[in-house]
Structure 1
Amino acid sequence: MSDKLRLGVNIDHVATLRNARGGAHPDPVAGAWAAIQSGADGITAHLREDRRHMRDDDMVRLQTLCESEDIPLNMEMAATSEMLKIALDLKPKAVCIVPERREERTTEGGLDVVGQHNSVAPIVRELTENGSRVSLFIEAQRTQIDAAKSCGAAVVELHTGAYAHAHEDDNIELAAEILKTLQDGATYAHSLGLEVHLGHGLTFDNVSDIAAIPEAVELNIGHFIIGEAVFMGLEPAILEMRRIMDAARV
């Protein structure tokens, strides 16, 4: 297996709580600071077109915090000219390009890099030349992995949402089938020289098999950790996720 698996904590839903009432609290940057102090290896934040979670000034403050702590900020963004300009100005260490639709509650499914290759590739190139390490959030399909490689991405983040849903539904057969697809996709991506991350819908109950994928370098987890923090606190939630991930790598 690779070295210790990294945990990226997505703090979008600290902003969701703030935005439910307006005002300044709870501050997602304070959430990021607490996550860093609790052992997060990176901070992920999605600046959406409708700004339902993060605001532009949040991203600036997050970048300042992460730079001061030498922790990577992973900016999730749609492949649009607006977001490209913001990311080029912000210069986060990492950018993850994701699909985005206004009507969705959260990102559902992977980016169609095959179908959007000609629009995604120039964005990947500009971001890379600007100093950001670019990842594409995709399904674990060879055609999408090949397209990600062709676009010049350094990283693929494999979408684990379908696996999480099957696990939640106690559909053991389907969960095992999807897990095998993720394992095969990770092996294939690694063989092409791509770094492999995984994320979406991961919880204490389903993360072990994902964390055990040998080629996995990083997991990005947000909604569940922030939700559990309501009951047990952010630090205990992160430490418990870290414990389960580490145990899966033994």
Structure 2
Amino acid sequence: METSDKLRLGVNIDHVATVRNARGSAYPDPIRAAKLAESAGADGITAHLREDRRHIRDGDIDGLMATLTTPLNFEMAATHEMQAIALKHRPHAVCLVPEKREERTTEGGLDVAGDESRLGAFIAPLIEAGCRVSLFIGHEPAQIHAAARIEAAVVELHTGAYCDHHYEGNYAARDAELAALKEGARLAHSLGLEVHAGHGLTFETVAPIAAMPEVMELNIGHFLMAESLFIGMEAAIRQMRALMDEARA
């Protein structure tokens, strides 16, 4: 598999829905946010339909599928309910993530190595339906090898610990995590997996991840939605895009 100088940006619009749901209103509209993200330079839109529907709802997925001109990356837990929804819509990409009801956000990567047989059977109908299956995992070699064995097309490496260490001021741990992510990206690429990355990335932390030649796509949401409160969504996305391109160059 080849690397690419063009690094794609997937914009996650989940937390537009979080704000909407806080008041139980019809606004702000995640579909409007997705369209604005597209016009600002997003290469795709990511939306996570959680089992508890805490932010994105079923109708949002219907609207995104009907409206988007860029690919939808449909994040979901590996449950029969979510599989049925994905097979109904057949989005461009399906990203399987671990999910716990009590967590604020996704806390770690999927344990593919520990659930290899079930996950292999779970993704087979999605692949047959034409979806590109991505697995949100940590950088551990065992997880990467397992992802390759069950014939996922993509792994998305969890960058949350790297970002957390940066903002905690624990730079030794941050640099160790970054080194492990680089090794994971190289391994995944060598096994024929397309490499994506995401979780917690900001203007301050994106460059070292964007500079990895094996990484083809970054998925960024919470920070961009938060920064949009201060500078606007279009400006936030364009600045992130510029930082990614500068790091890649």
Q: TM-score, normalised by structure 1?
A: 0.98
Measured after TM superposition, the shift of residue 123 of structure 1 is: 1.7
Deviations 1:178-230 (A, max 9, x none): 00000000000000000000000000001000101110000000000000001
**What residue is the counterpart of 1:226 in the other structure?**
225
**How far, CA to CA, are the matches of 1:50 and 1:174 in structure 2?**
34
1:212, 1:147 → 2: CA distance?
26
Q: Which amino acid aligns with 1:26?
A: P
1:27-106 matched pairs, under 5 angstroms:
27-66=29-68, 69=69, 71-106=70-105
Q: Secondary structure at the match of 1:112?
A: coil
The offset of 1:114, in angstroms, is 0.8
Counterpart for residue 128 of structure 1: 127
In the alignment, the residues of structure 1 paired with residue 128 and residue 198 of structure 2 have an alpha-carbon distance, to the nearest angstrom, of: 26
- d(CA) in 2 for partners of 1:182, 1:59: 31
In the alignment, structure 1 segments of 5+ residues that lack a partner are: none
Contact 2:5 2:213 in 1 (8 A): no
The aligned amino acid for 1:167 is H
Counterpart-to-counterpart distance in 1, 2:77 and 2:129: 17
3-state SS of paired residue (1:116):
helix
In the other structure, the counterpart of 1:171 is 170
Give the superposition deviation at 1:3. Answer: 2.3
RMSD: 0.7
User: In structure 1, how many angstroms separate the alpha carbons of the residues matched to 2:47 and 2:32?
Assistant: 13
Taking the aligned partners of 1:195 and 1:29, their CA distance within structure 2 comes to 28
In structure 2, what is the equivalent of residue 207 of structure 1? Answer: 206
- Tell me how many residue pairs correspond in the alignment: 247
Note if contact 2:12-2:220 (Cα within 8 Å) is conserved in structure 1. yes
CA shift at 1:172, angstroms?
A: 1.1
- Counterpart amino acid of 1:245? M
Aligned-residue identity in percent: 60
